[in-house]
Amino acid sequence: MILLKSHREGTGKRNPAKLTLCAVILCAFGLPGGQQAWAQPDRGLFTDVRELPDGPVGERIEELIDVINSNDRERVRTFINETFNERFRDFAPMDRHLSVFASVYERSQGYDFFGIRMYESPEFSTRHVVILRNRLTQGWAQVSVDIEATPPYRIAGLRFSPARAPKEAKPAQSMSDQQIVKKLKEYVSRMADAGVFSGTVLLAKDGTVLYQAAFGLASKQYDVPNKIDTKFNLGSMNKMFTGVAIAQLAQRGKLSLDDPLSKYLSTDWLPREITDRIKIMHLLTHTSGLGSYFNATFMESSRAMFRDLDDYRPLITDETLAFEPGTSWRYSNTGIFLLGVVIEKVTGQSYFDYVRRNIYEPAGMINSDCYDMDRPVPNLAMGYSKDENGWINNIFKHVIRGGPAGGGFSTVEDLLRFDQALRDHKLLNPEYTEMVWSAKPEISSPDYGFGFSVDREGDERIVGHSGGFSGINSNLDMFLDSGYTAAVMSNHDHGAQPIQHEIRRLLAARE
């Protein structure tokens, strides 16, 4: 999902002047894990009206689609200046707005209008949900457009995200695994040929690989191709490893999930009035009320300042609670990061050593770690984004070393090994395995377990995690009922997301 908003959603306050780097939230994709914080809600029953609204609202929507499809930078600039309200237009620099439109076009090659989606419980009267057909992928997308209710009907916000298929869309025919692989191979090749995808894909059933392939370049500077064992940045997918690590310590009786954070965290991190109220389980489920240490101070600082967990302390000490822990949900990089501090306190080891010895090694994950990016790492992909001047790498944007909340590296093969180690209970016993990948609605986390996203498509339960940042987009889907595993890793913005959605669509049509 890509989001541009001129108003704040959720609780707490932000300074718009400090949000320019957060104006684009990537679904797999923004700051590590940012897609979860702004996940598009499933608002239940809907009807698709196949015509544009009459009057200025319909005209505005039609103009928006036409401008997107033009892929004309100057035309987009004029459209933004003339149709965005002042608050939305000034929320981010013009170049940021322009890059969003360019990215939307690149990943679609244009859209065809399908209809206006009407929900039984609309969010608010000025939001119009437009359903579009992606010309490149033939998938379904939606753009939620906030249009002012009075003349001159300016645009106050845009949200681009995947959409559920229209009800009248032709249902997919049942397919065998062989047919699914054939369709997937064709799809991924098309995305790679269009320059949308660079990375690796793996689809397995019961641990046996059905399809794996690598596309694109690990280094555009040196023309080095990606290979199936190329290491890609995980983004927020490290949260799964942190969740498993905490569950291991709970299983061994080293800590309790009901323990207050104050038991493990000194007051030079956060005051007791905050840590006394937060339990370990709140940190695991993003229900702590804490926010993200990827703040303005981090963005304005040298990445070399942040390598060990203790180095991040100055970024966290001023955090406050957006709500009482356990009463609401907000994606929190800080919350998961602090679990790493807990692990170090309980074990007397560095977070990195603990995860390496207790997760990577038992699972056989030979190409996974939080590498120091100022040292040579063999067979590692550089991340790339695109602007009006071409490709740019992310080496000066990302962390110098990943950690509990994200930023490590892995391969699709290692992600399958992690999947199998969990299913075979090599990392956790059956009770704790089920615990980490089960949602926790009782503490306001209906779609997230302990470091794992929890989803359901029909009768299939899907757990895993995505990750994204500039030049990073990766995802692991573990289909618990059917035994499939899908891992997609990309060193392009948004590269993994369309592949992930296509795999889900194809597997939903299996025999």
Q: What is the pLDDT of residues 195-229, one digit of tens each?
A: 999 999 999 999 999 999 999 999 999 999 999 99
Residue type, 57: V
Q: Hey, how many other C-beta atoms are within 10 angstroms of the C-beta on 318?
A: 9
* Cα–Cα distance for residue pair 312/314, rounded to 1 Å: 6
Between the two ends of the chain, the Cα-to-Cα distance in Å is: 30
pLDDT of residue 300: 77
* 496 and 196 Cβ atoms separated by less than 8 Å: no
pLDDT of residue 10: 32
Name the residue among 471, 316, 502 with its Cα closest to residue 399: 471
Three-state DSSP at 72 gives: coil
* Cα–Cα distance for residue pair 153/151, rounded to 1 Å: 5
Q: Hey, how many other C-beta atoms are within 10 angstroms of the C-beta on 88?
A: 23
* Cα–Cα distance for residue pair 394/264, rounded to 1 Å: 34
Three-state DSSP at 107 gives: coil
* Cα–Cα distance for residue pair 171/53, rounded to 1 Å: 28
Tell me which H or E stretch contains 334: helix 333-347
71-106 pLDDT, tens digit each? 999 999 999 999 999 999 998 999 989 989 998 998
Across 148-198, the runs of DSSP E, i.e. the strands, are 155-162
pLDDT of residue 386: 86
Burial class (CB in 10 A: 0-12, 13-18, 19+), 180: buried
* 114 and 48 Cβ atoms separated by less than 8 Å: yes
* Cα–Cα distance for residue pair 130/144, rounded to 1 Å: 6
Residue type, 403: G
pLDDT of residue 435: 98
pTM, two decimal places = 0.86
Helix ranges (H only) for 20-93 are: 34-37, 56-70, 73-83, 86-89
Three-state DSSP at 125 gives: coil
At 232, list the tokens. Answer: 């890609």
* 333 and 22 Cβ atoms separated by less than 8 Å: no
* 402 and 408 Cβ atoms separated by less than 8 Å: yes
pLDDT of residue 14: 31
Q: Locate tokens 């690590």: which residue?
A: 245
* 260 and 283 Cβ atoms separated by less than 8 Å: no
Residues with pLDDT less than 70, the chain:
1-44, 121-125, 171-172
Name the residue among 400, 296, 278 with its Cα closest to residue 341: 278
In DSSP terms, which residues pair with 464 in a beta bridge? 453, 477
* Cα–Cα distance for residue pair 314/296, rounded to 1 Å: 12
Tell me which H or E stretch contains 333: helix 333-347
At 181, list the tokens. Answer: 């692989």
pLDDT of residue 373: 86
* Cα–Cα distance for residue pair 453/178, rounded to 1 Å: 28
* Cα–Cα distance for residue pair 376/359, rounded to 1 Å: 24
pLDDT of residue 12: 32
Residue type, 348: G
Helices 496-508 and 177-193, packing angle to 10 deg: 160
What backbone torsions phi and psi does residue 102 show, to the nearest 5 degrees? -65, -40
Task: Please give the C-alpha separations between residue 226 and each of 131, 176, 203, 219, 357, in angstroms, as whole numbers.
Answer: 35, 29, 17, 8, 28
At 171, list the tokens. Answer: 């249902």
